[in-house]
Structure 1
Amino acid sequence: MPLSNIIRDKLTRLCVAENEITREALRLIARDKSGKYTLNDRIRAQLELQKLPKYSRPTAVHNRCVESGKTRGHVTDFKVSRIVFRERALAGEIPGVKKSCW
């Protein structure tokens, strides 16, 4: 089981949550074209944005299975991979989900 991937994903999500408001405020200042901020303010905001931790970017977060750590075939509603989802559904561990037949 890739435990290190799961731990890294949790730490990344925590870092993104901690720096979200600061990152968004600096990003809006740096990209403002309305003339509300001077060029020096915009440059300063861009430099501060670059000083933030690398893993505080929202794009660094990947959907990952909480049980196996897989990133592909992810069922978003249940936060597990398709294989784990199928195993749990067949075992009856997921309420309201059953194998369909028609």
Structure 2
Amino acid sequence: MSQFRAKKLDLGGFVNAKIIRDHTKRKVFMEHEHERQALRYIARNTSLPQRLRTVAQLELAQMHCYTRPCQINNRCVNGGVSRSVMRAFRMGRYQFRINALAGNLPGVQKASW
């Protein structure tokens, strides 16, 4: 019975379908990154035979779209928004402001001059 239970996905704060999809994209990308880099190297190496390069290009084109690095989008870990996310803190600007004013972010304080 326990083998059919869904695994709990611990992603931090707010979880919705977009965050789960982004998590899946990151996981798939990490699993296939080495294979994709090898195929890209073969496809771009001009010293290799043209047939081998063409086969590598076809395999790259047939790989799932989640294996591409451009599919990964930075999202706020607290709110789940994808816009105005600060990379260093992985938070949207509003969540960053709330946490900074509350003193939850070490080394961040409100500017005063």
**1:32 matches 2:45:** yes
Q: Which residue of 2 aligns with 1:68?
A: 79
Q: Which residue of 2 aligns with 1:101?
A: 112
Identity %: 42
CA deviations on 1:30-56 (whole Å, 9 max, x unpaired) are 1212x2x11110111111112211111
**1:12 matches 2:32:** no
TM-score by length of 2: 0.83
Q: Which 10-residue stretch deviates more, 48-57 or 75-84? A: 48-57
Instruction: State the number of aligned residues.
Output: 100
Question: In structure 2, what residue type is equivalent to 1:7?
Answer: I
How far apart, in 1, do the equivalents of 2:69 and 2:32 lie? 10
Question: In structure 1, what residue type is equivalent to 2:74?
Answer: N
How far apart, in 2, do the equivalents of 1:75 and 1:66 lie? 11
Report the RMSD for the aligned CA atoms in angstroms. Answer: 1.3
TM-score by length of 1: 0.91
Q: Secondary structure at the match of 1:7?
A: helix
